[in-house]
């Protein structure tokens, strides 16, 4: 059955308009964080999203975890539609442009307690381990794939800056919540229209109004990556501008040598 909207038309209706609106508002608002720091962080995250997500989607699509409606996509590269690759860029832009309206930098040193970093790494790796276990069962395969894929990124982000993310939790949570809710709605529409379909065999059968839990978790996790990545990136650049001596590299040298790094 041919869906009433193609995947490209879905972008024209659901992703491009809010990106354009958020960009227009940011240009008009002095409060918006619209500078080289935020945009360089956005560009880095787009590149990382493409590199990290491409193998994942191209592994799951052949397994039948999800597929696309007849005539819904223009073409595929590997197993993934061109429009899906475009989604990597557009979702990053949507969430980042929303974050730029909220972004602020707290006065927190880069030299965080080692115990906090260990907790962050272990938390991320624990999620990865749970995902690996869930991959072994057909009905939990999609859920396990998301957690196994998300865990390493969370371990890196939390290991580097869990303390700061907790300090900045209000802006982080709001920056994650709004685009996630919007993308849940857009995803629900796309599934309802048959633009893409999610396998009942590879999901646990739990959801909200027909939106599978796994899809909700996917958009939540990807927005967590985007928001935390930009927040941490801007924090690092800001601290290095304020106090170059707070560099983690410098701190490591001091700990290894037992003396200030500039001696």
Q: For 131-169, how does the pLDDT look when each residue is reduced to its tens digit (9 = 90+)?
A: 999 999 999 999 999 999 999 999 999 999 999 999 999
Q: Are 63 and 70 in contact (CB under 8 A)?
A: no
pTM: predicted TM-score of the whole model, two decimal places: 0.90
Domain ranges of the chain: 7-248
Task: Tell me how far apart the alpha carbons of residues 203 and 65 are, in angstroms, rounded to a whole number.
Answer: 8
What mean pLDDT comes out for the span 252-260? 47
Residue 195, classed as helix, strand or coil, is coil
Task: Tell me how far apart the alpha carbons of residues 89 and 4 are, in angstroms, rounded to a whole number.
Answer: 24
Those residues with Cβ within 8 angstroms of residue 226's Cβ, 6 or more apart along the chain or in another chain = 45, 49, 91, 92, 95, 96, 99
The H or E element that residue 123 is part of is helix 114-134
State how beta strands 80-81 and 76-77 pair: antiparallel
Query: What is the per-residue pLDDT for 93?
Result: 96
Query: What is the per-residue pLDDT for 38?
Result: 84
CA distances in angstroms from 135 to 18, 139, 148, 168, listed in the order given? 35, 9, 8, 33
Those residues with Cβ within 8 angstroms of residue 210's Cβ, 6 or more apart along the chain or in another chain = 188, 191, 192
Query: What is the per-residue pLDDT for 2?
Result: 83
What mean pLDDT comes out for the span 182-195? 97
The H or E element that residue 67 is part of is strand 66-68
């Amino acid at each position: 059955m041919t869906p009433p909207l193609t995947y490209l038309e879905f972008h024209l209706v659901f992703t491009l308009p809010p990106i354009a609106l958020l960009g227009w508002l940011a240009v008009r608002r002095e409060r918006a964080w619209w500078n080289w720091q935020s945009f360089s962080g956005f560009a880095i995250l787009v590149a990382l999203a493409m590199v990290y997500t491409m193998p994942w989607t191209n592994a799951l699509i052949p397994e039948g975890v999800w597929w696309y409606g007849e005539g819904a996509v223009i073409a595929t590269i590997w197993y993934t539609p061109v429009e899906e690759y475009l989604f990597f860029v557009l979702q990053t832009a949507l969430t980042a442009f929303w974050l730029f309206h909220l972004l602020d930098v707290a006065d927190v040193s880069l030299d965080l307690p080692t115990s906090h970093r260990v907790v962050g790494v272990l938390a991320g790796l624990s999620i990865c381990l749970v995902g690996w276990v869930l991959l072994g069962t057909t009905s939990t395969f999609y859920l396990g794939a998301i957690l196994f894929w998300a865990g390493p990124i969370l371990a890196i982000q939390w290991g580097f800056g869990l303390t700061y993310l907790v300090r900045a939790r209000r802006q982080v949570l709001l920056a994650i919540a709004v685009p996630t809710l919007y993308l849940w709605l857009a995803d629900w529409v796309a599934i309802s229209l048959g633009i893409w379909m999610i396998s009942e065999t590879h999901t646990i059968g739990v959801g909200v109004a027909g939106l599978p839990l796994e899809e909700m978790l996917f958009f939540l996790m990807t927005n967590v990556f985007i928001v935390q990545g930009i927040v941490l990136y801007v924090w690092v650049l800001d601290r290095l501008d304020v106090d170059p001596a707070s560099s983690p590299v410098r701190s490591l040298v001091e700990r290894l040598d037992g003396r200030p790094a500039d001696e």
